[in-house]
Chains A and B, each alone.
Chain A
C-alpha cells in the first residue's frame, strides 16, 4: 500500500474501532423516522476516497470483521460487503479523482445502498427464515436518506482525523499548483 505509514495505520485503526463502538453503543440506539443511521459504510467510503482502493478495501474488511465480531453476528458478511464499498470508493478516487464538494454526499449514498443491498443479498443466499416486506424496504430507504445527510460531516471528520498522516498526493499537489498559477504552462508565457 503506497504511502501507508505507521501513523496513518494507527489512525485508521482508531477510526475503525472508535466508529464501530460509537455506532453500536449510541447511534444504533437512536431511531430516526423508524430507522437508524449506519456510520460504518460512511467511514469506509471516506477512507476509500481519502486513501485509495487498497487502503479502502483493507479498512472495509477490518471494520466489517470487527463489527461482526463485537455484534456476535455471522463472521465475514460485513467484511465482504464493506470490502467492496471501500474498494469501490477508492477506485472512484483513483480513476476519476472527483473534486466536487458534494462528491462525499453521493458516494455516501452509494456506499449505504451497496452495503444494504449486499448485506441483504448475502443473507438471502445464506437463507433467511422470515419473509421480507415493504417495512424492510422502507427502513432501508430511511437509513439511506439519514446516511446521505450524514455523509458530508462524517467525511469531514474522517478527513480531519486522517489529514496529518495522509501522504501528499502528487495529482492533488499538481492541481493546487495549477489553480494558484505556479506550474501552469500558460503562466510561463
Chain B
C-alpha cells in the first residue's frame, strides 16, 4: 500500500515536470501566432475585466501602502528638489534669451514647433496588472484595440516615456517597460546630440538604464538629458515607434569615458514600480501620421 502511494506520487511528480518542460519547449519553439500564445491571449482576454475589477477594488489598499512609501521617499527628495530648483532658476534665466532666438529659427526651418501631446492623440489608461517577477517588466492597461491602441505605440506617464505596447486585446494592452531586459530605444543625449541606444543596465534594476553605442568622442556631461531620437529618415523608411524628444531620464554617471566601451548611466524620470495611470500615444507619428 505504501509502495503504491509512493509510486503514484513519483509518477504524478514526473508527469508534471515533463509537462512543464514540454510547455517551455513548445512555447519557445512556436511563433507569436502559435497555439500556446493564442491560448494565453484568450485567457488574458477573458481575465482582463476581472483584473480590472480587482485592480479598482484593491486601489484603496494600494494607496494606503503607497502613502507610507511616498511619505518616506518624499522626505529624502526635498533636499534634492531644492538644489534642482536653484539650478533650474539659473538655467531659466540663461535660456530666456535663447528661447526668443530659437522661436525665430524654428519658423525659419518650418519645424512644427514644440511637441504638443495632443498631436499624438494620447489615451489615458489605468494600470490593471503588473508583472509579479523582476524578470519581466510589464504592465497591462485598460485600453485596447477598441480605443485605437495598436502594437508598438509609445506609452508615457506624467514624468516621461515608460515603454511601448507589445500586445493588444479588445479592452486591454500589454506594455513592455523600458526597464525590461528586451527593451532597446534609440536616444539622443545632451544638447550636442550624441546618439545611442538605451537599455536596462541589468535585470531587476528599475532605477538605472545605460546608453550604449555612443561614439567615444561625443561631448557628454553628468546631468545631460536623455530623450528619444525619433525618426530621422524619410517617412516610411524604418520609422521609429517613438516621437522625437520624449524625455527618458538624465545622465548620472559615465563609465570608461572616452573609450569604445563607455557606458552612460541614466536615471529614468519615471518610477515604473508604482504606476497608476499612463498615456498611450495612439498617433506616434504626429498629426500627419
- Interface, chain A (partner B; CB < 8 A): 2, 21-32, 34, 36, 38, 40, 53-54, 57-58, 61, 64-65, 67-77, 79-80, 83, 87, 119-120, 122-123, 126, 128-133, 135-136, 139-140
Chain B, residue nearest A130 (CB): B181
Contact for A87 among B13, B200, B205, B276, CB less than 8 A: B13
A residues less than 8 Å from B12 (CB atoms): 54, 57-58
Contact for B133 among A30, A119, A133, CB less than 8 A: A119
CA distance A174 to B130 in the complex (A): 46
B residues less than 8 Å from A31 (CB atoms): 69, 273-274
Q: Do A76 and B27 touch (CB < 8 A)?
A: yes
Q: Do A24 and B130 touch (CB < 8 A)?
A: yes
Cβ contacts A to B, 10 pairs, < 8 Å? A57-B12, A58-B12, A72-B41, A83-B13, A123-B135, A126-B24, A128-B203, A132-B203, A136-B205, A140-B134
Contact for A73 among B28, B131, B203, CB less than 8 A: B131
CA distance A98 to B8 in the complex (A): 24
B residues less than 8 Å from A36 (CB atoms): 132, 273
Question: What number of B residues sit within 8 Å (CB to CB) of A?
Answer: 62
Most buried by B among A29, A76, A122: A29
Knowing A83-B17, A135-B205 are in contact, say whether A29-B275 is a contact too (CB < 8 A). yes
Q: Do A75 and B36 touch (CB < 8 A)?
A: yes
Knowing A34-B273, A136-B205 are in contact, say whether A25-B129 is a contact too (CB < 8 A). yes
Contact for A72 among B13, B44, B54, CB less than 8 A: B44
Q: Do A61 and B205 touch (CB < 8 A)?
A: no
CA distance A57 to B18 in the complex (A): 13
A86 to chain B, nearest CB (A): 10
CA distance A72 to B205 in the complex (A): 21
Chain B, residue nearest A67 (CB): B132
